[in-house]
Amino acid sequence: MEKRILYFDCFSGISGDMTIGALLDLGIDQDLFLAELNKIHLDEFEIEIKKGLKKGISGTDFTVHLTHQEHSHEEHTHEHEDDHNHQHEHTHEHHHEHSHEHEHTHEHHHAEKPHDHAHTRNLSDIYKIIDSSDLSEYVKTASKKIFYIVAEAEAKIHAKTIDEVHFHEVGAVDSIVDIIGAAICVEMLQIDEIQCSEINLGSGFVHCEHGVFPVPAPATLEILKGVPVYSKNAKKELTTPTGAAILKALCSEFGSLPEFIIEKIGYGLGKRDMETPNVLRVIVGEKKSPSTLTMLETNIDNMNPEIYSYLFPKLLDNKALDVFVTPIIMKKNRPANILSVLCNEEVVEQLEEILFTETSTLGIRKYKVEREELQREFKKVTTSYGVITVKYAFRNGKLLKFTPEYEDCRLIAEKTNIPLIQIINEIRADVENSKQ
């Protein structure tokens, strides 16, 4: 069974706008995405999506423009004389997510005027916005989970309850768009599993409402407990709480790039100009996951062995994948056999019926097993003995082995009176020569 995996490569951190930019860059239909985003029923923002370059890497730039504010998107950087650049998405308590780089005049510094917005929203207000939307159940559930993770971290850092964490209007609108937009993109990509690399957090210090905070921000660190992180290449905040929460809520695994076949690659552009590319890379690939089967087993010590020759083909005819016997010694030193039947879940009941009615067993053990198998292909090949069926085995598209079909070789051996092993070896040589 194929598993579709989305992998976040966070070598330059992650923020909300970078996440959506990268996911859109995978080829998501932008009109459909915007139509889904409009289901939020808010008229406080406009969306700008455009292609751009960062250090020669082409990607998608996603920006939220707030229709009733002088600021555009919460992701912007305050340029300070002490060069403490930072990305912050403000809540009333210190929610941060800024990556748009532009200079603020003194009267627009959030640290100077923390209450310059019309009103604030708490978590329950945001939940109401999400619940009253026309979004899918997946998007609603995922979005609320991400928002809860952010609010929980902020509450712990500032010694408040979750209900006391208030998002400024600017920060809340941007966060709503980024978080819901990320969930929409994931649903549109039809992903089975999401994984992530180790996360570059950045370093340095930032100025915010509460003063000078270290990078990574306390909320970001709180969110990323249990996740592998590092700091390299930038005296800036690279990973924001929104970006961290998206990963924490959606990713099942953090670590190296998984073994899979790469299908698509997308780049989301950050708003910083750095020595290294300020981009988020996402990769979609397919991985063949092991098939899950059922093993039926029973110990038999009191059955006529002639019955096995009747039983095996009957089990196989009823869709058993494999049937075999293993000699054992049971209690009272009795010689016996373990009868094992490998099958798919849907035929377990009918095979159990055969085992109970056709053998002397009084009980059957069963358990799940995983089977990894090679891709197989059968071809007719012309050899010195005529046309023979040959079975080829591949792994990830690479030929590993091939085998002439036994029944074809057996019939030739009986007809020609040539040893079977000789026929098999000669046919293998013919097949090898035909590939050259």
Residue 250, both tokens: 């959606």
Closest CA to 325 of 303, 349, 357: 303
Which segments of the chain have a pLDDT < 50? Answer: 70-118, 169-170
Q: What's the pLDDT score for residue 69?
A: 52
| CATH number of the domain residue 380 falls in | 3.10.20.300
Name residue 219's amino acid: A
Whole-model pTM over 0.95: no
Q: Are 170 and 74 contacting, i.e. CB atoms less than 8 angstroms apart?
A: yes
- Same domain for 325 and 345? yes
- Same domain for 174 and 73? yes
- Same domain for 234 and 248? yes
The residues near 243 (Cβ < 8 Å, ≥ 6 apart) are 13, 14, 15, 16, 18, 19, 97
- Same domain for 11 and 24? yes
| CATH number of the domain residue 346 falls in | 3.30.70.1380
- Same domain for 382 and 364? no
Domain final position from 351, 371, 391? 371
- Same domain for 262 and 344? no
Domain interval for residue 328: 291-371
- Same domain for 366 and 409? no
- Same domain for 325 and 392? no
- Same domain for 197 and 134? yes
- Same domain for 357 and 384? no
Q: Are 236 and 204 contacting, i.e. CB atoms less than 8 angstroms apart?
A: yes
Domain final position from 268, 288, 308? 288
Number of domains in the chain: 3
Task: Say which DSSP state 26 is in.
Answer: T
- Same domain for 145 and 178? yes
DSSP 329-370: EEGGGEEEEEEEEEE-GGGHHHHHHHHHHHSS-S--EEEEEE
Residue 245, both tokens: 């929460």
- Same domain for 334 and 403? no
Domain final position from 288, 304, 330? 288
